[in-house]
């Protein structure tokens, strides 16, 4: 009798627990195009991943990528589900992988500037013809493509009318001060930071530098989803991000390099036409098809 009762009780427990919802959350895989290696991903976006997992109910797993080309191939072959990337990367990813926009990361004061020394003879973009102009890494939205488009918008051909050289931002800054280059092109916030550090370290005052051209505000960074990710999942992630904006922005800003996102907000409505200016940058750089990443 006791054995029969225990057997029936065991069956009842099996049925009960089988009816409970699974405690294992679905997993989504996330990559960030400008970070290489799991350690760097964890340092910059570890807190963001934790909060995103909490508000979406998904387990969020990092997938490190070696470069932007690797990221778009991972999307195409369904090795990653979501990619956080910049405007220059978006136009290539959208063309090659037909990736879907989840949400935009709006960054204040995100535009390119062309900077010369205030006491130099370079007072306009036209004055740079025949001169050396330093910029950041090849293919960067705000340190390469944005600056060359700002030059083109001012009426010169950056590929023909001057010599553009690429180097690291601290190196170009010192080159400008020494007079090794006539001007530098970079992100506006990088310029403000360098100018502030210069003054604080007992170097040149802000008035020693002159902005001779600037581009328009650049389009948003983007969280994108692969074509294989179903629309319900995309909407679930989008809604969770927008509805928990403050917590997620705070999580992003724990990363040292992510200070560029200070003052940001998430943008739900993104138009593909917002990125036509970026497509113009590719054409100016000599890549009118914008089907490959410059510099990879």
**16-65 per-position pLDDT tens digit:** 434 444 344 699 999 999 888 889 899 999 999 999 999 999 999 999 98
DSSP per position, 22-51 = PS---EEEEEETT--SHHHHHHHHHHHHHH
DSSP 195-259: HHHHHHTT---GGGEEEEEE-PPPPPEEEEE-TTS-HHHHHHHHHHHHHTHHHHHHHHTTSSGGG
- Please name the helix (run of DSSP H) or strand (run of DSSP E) that holds residue 102, with its range, or none: strand 100-106
Q: Which of 85, 72, 143 is nearest to 113 (CA)?
A: 143
Residue % of the chain over a pLDDT of 90: 79
Protein fold of 27-108+219-284:
D-Maltodextrin-Binding Protein; domain 2 (3.40.190)
pTM as predicted: 0.84
What's the token pair of residue 61?
């797993």
pLDDT digits (tens, 9 = 90+) for 96-144: 998 999 999 999 999 999 999 999 999 999 999 999 999 999 999 999 9
Q: Identify the CA nearest to 97 among candidates 293, 295, 294.
A: 293
Positions of CATH 3.40.190.10 in the chain: 27-108+219-284, 112-214
**Mean pLDDT over the full length of the chain:** 90
CA distance 89 to 27: 25
Distance between alpha carbon 157 and the CA centroid of its chain, in Å? 27
What is the fold, at CATH topology level, of the domain defined by 112-214?
D-Maltodextrin-Binding Protein; domain 2 (3.40.190)
């Amino acid at each position: 009798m006791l054995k029969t009762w225990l057997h029936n009780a065991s069956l009842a427990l099996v049925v009960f627990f089988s009816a409970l919802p699974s405690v294992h959350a679905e997993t989504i895989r996330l990559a960030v195009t400008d970070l290489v290696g799991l350690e760097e991903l964890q340092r910059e976006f570890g807190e963001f991943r934790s909060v995103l997992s909490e508000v979406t109910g998904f387990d969020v797993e990092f997938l490190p990528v070696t470069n932007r080309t690797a990221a778009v191939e991972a999307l195409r072959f369904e090795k990653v589900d979501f990619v956080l990337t910049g405007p220059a990367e978006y136009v290539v990813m959208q063309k090659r992988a037909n990736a879907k926009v989840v949400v935009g990361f709006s960054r204040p004061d995100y535009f390119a500037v062309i900077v010369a020394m205030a006491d130099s003879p370079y007072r306009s973009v036209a004055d740079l013809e025949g001169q050396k102009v330093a910029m950041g890494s090849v293919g960067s939205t705000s340190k390469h493509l944005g600056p060359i488009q700002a030059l083109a918008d001012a009426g010169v051909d950056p590929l023909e009318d001057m010599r553009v050289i690429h180097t690291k931002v601290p190196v170009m800054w010192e080159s400008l001060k020494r007079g090794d280059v006539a001007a530098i092109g970079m992100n506006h916030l990088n310029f403000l930071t360098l100018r502030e550090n210069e003054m604080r370290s007992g170097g040149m005052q802000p008035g020693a530098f002159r902005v001779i051209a600037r581009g328009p505000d650049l389009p948003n960074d983007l969280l994108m989803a692969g074509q294989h990710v179903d629309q319900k999942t995309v909407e679930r992630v989008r809604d969770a991000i927008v509805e928990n904006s403050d917590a997620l922005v705070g999580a992003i800003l724990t990363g040292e390099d992510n200070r560029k996102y200070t003052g940001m907000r998430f943008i739900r409505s993104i138009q593909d036409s917002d990125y036509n200016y970026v497509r113009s940058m590719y054409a100016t750089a000599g890549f009118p098809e914008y089907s490959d990443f410059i510099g990879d």
